[in-house]
Amino acid sequence: LVNGRNLAKINSIYASEDGRFLIRDGVLLACARAGAPMSEYVVPEGVHTIAKGAFNSVEDITKIVLPSTLKTIGDYAFYDCNKLDNVQIPDSVTNLGKFAFANCFNLNSVKLSAGLTDIPQSAFESTSIDNIDIPNGVKNIKSKAFNTSPVDTLKISESVESIDASAFRYCSNLK
């Protein structure tokens, strides 16, 4: 359901083949929540943008497979997906939104895209990530990027030029 409506009843221009996503012109606008719960979601090739809040609070998602065509993950795209535990962000991604994976409490592993130049505000706030490898090309780590996460191992590439003072705020395992 998207805003209480079944995707099958929306103009077919917007629905994906399996009816799981609302997609228009390469932009995944929303994840459908109709039908039996699924733990794995595969975003189809051809999608270049995951819109703001597209997967916000999808409770059953434990795994997301992202396409090689993806360039942008919007603000709050996966916010509050509590069961999501692993994310592999393809190197094609150059834009990551604020709070993109915040409050994904079970997210314990993330592979960041080599195409990123910034890790934005609160992108991975309140996750379970304990090991972070910041890839070459990232220049800025913004405010609260990993706030309250149990980070204990951190590898930062030489390309990083600035780290906001609160980027690792309340990461008490980081010494």
Phi and psi dihedrals of 9, rounded to 5?
A: -95, 0
Contact present, 64 and 86 (Cβ < 8 Å): no
pLDDT on residue 20: 79
**pLDDT above 90: residue 11:** no
Contact present, 74 and 97 (Cβ < 8 Å): yes
Best CA proximity match to 84, nearest among 70, 100, 98, 67: 100
> What mean pLDDT value characterizes the chain?
89
| Whether this model's pTM surpasses 0.85 | yes
pLDDT digits (tens, 9 = 90+) for 39-81: 889 999 999 999 999 999 998 899 999 999 999 999 999 999 9
